[in-house]
Structure 1
C-alpha cells in the first residue's frame, strides 16, 4: 500500500470533511429520500432520483476519504531546518528568463490548490525543487517546455 504524504493542516481538513459528510450530508440526504418517498410513485419521482444520486456521490466520497485517511503519512515540516526544499515548506522562486517571481508551498496531492500557491509534491516543479537550497538554479521540464528557476527563499510559513 503506497503512503500518501500530507501536511498536518491538510490531514485535519480532510478529517473534518469526512466528519461533515458522515454527520451532516448523510443525514440530509436520508431526509430528502424520505420526503421524496412520501410523494408516492418512485418510478417518475425526480426528487427521489436526485436524492438517491446525491446519496451515491456522498457515500463514494466517504469511502474514498476513509481509504485515503488510512494511507496518509502526516509529515510535519516544522521538524525541518529550512535550509533545503522539503515537503511542506514554502519556496519563492524566480524565472531566470522573465524575472517573474512565484511563491509555492509543496504539499500532498490531495492538498494541491494552485489558486493558493499549493503545488503537489509529485508535480514537475516540486520534483525539481526538492532537496535544493537558496541560490540554486533548477531546470523544470514541464509539458509547456523547459523553464529555469532560481530559488530565492525557503520558509516554514
Structure 2
C-alpha cells in the first residue's frame, strides 16, 4: 500500500521495557562503576535526543535508562573474599579442560560478564558448577569436564 493512504500521527509507539534478571544483582566494585557510567551516558543521550526532538532516540534512551537505573538501585556490591580455598563471587578461577585448554574466569555480576574477556556471570551454569568447589575438583563444563587448578 502506498504511504499516501496511511494515516500518519505524531505518536511514537512505546518500546517494551528490557527484561530484568530474576537473580540478585550482585556486582563487583568495577561492575557498579560500569552501571553508573551507563546511567550517565544514557542521561546525556536522552538530553541530546530531547534537544534534537528525535522521538525514536528518546524512546530508546528512556527505555535503557529505566533498565540501568533499576540495576543501579538494586546493585549489591560484593567485596572480594580473601579466602581462596573455595570458589566464590569475585574469584579468579583457572580451569584445565579435558581437551588440554587452560582458561581463566573471574566470577562477576550479570551486567559485567563477558566470557570472551574472562568474566563469567555468577548466574551462569559454569559459575554455578564452580561455586564452593576447591582446587582439584572436576566440574561439568559445556560438553566436557574441567578441573580447577587455581583459585585466586
Counterpart of 1:80 in structure 2 is 82
Q: Which residue is equivalent to 2:148?
A: 151
Q: Is the 8 A contact 1:84 1:154 kept in 2?
A: yes
TM-score of the two chains, using structure 2 as the length reference: 0.79
Pairwise mapping of residues 39-118 of structure 1 onto structure 2 (< 5 A)?
A: 51-77=54-80, 79-96=81-98, 98-118=99-119
Contact 1:92 1:104 in 2 (8 A): yes
* Equivalent in the alignment of 2:40: 19
* Structure with greater helix share of residues: 1
Q: How many aligned residue pairs are there? A: 131
Misfit runs of 4+, over 3 Å: none
CA deviations on 1:49-90 (whole Å, 9 max, x unpaired) are xx211110101111111112121211111x331221101111
In 2, Cα distance between the equivalents of 1:31 and 1:88? 41
Q: Mind listing any 5+ residue stretches in structure 2 that lack a counterpart?
A: 1-21
RMSD of the TM alignment (CA)?
1.6
**Matched position secondary structure for 2:110:** coil
CA 1:71–1:2: 2 relative to 1, 3 Å = farther
Structure 1: which 5+ residue stretches go unaligned?
Answer: 34-50
The question of whether the paired residues in 2 share the 8 Å contact of 1:88 and 1:107 is answered with: yes
2: CA distance, partners of 1:120 / 1:3: 12
Q: Is the 8 A contact 2:46 2:58 kept in 1?
A: yes
**Aligned partner of residue 110 in structure 1, secondary structure:** helix
| Secondary structure in 2 matching 1:82 | coil
Listed one character per residue, the Cα deviations across residues 18-47 of structure 1 (whole Å, up to 9, x for unaligned) are 02221x2122112211xxxxxxxxxxxxxx
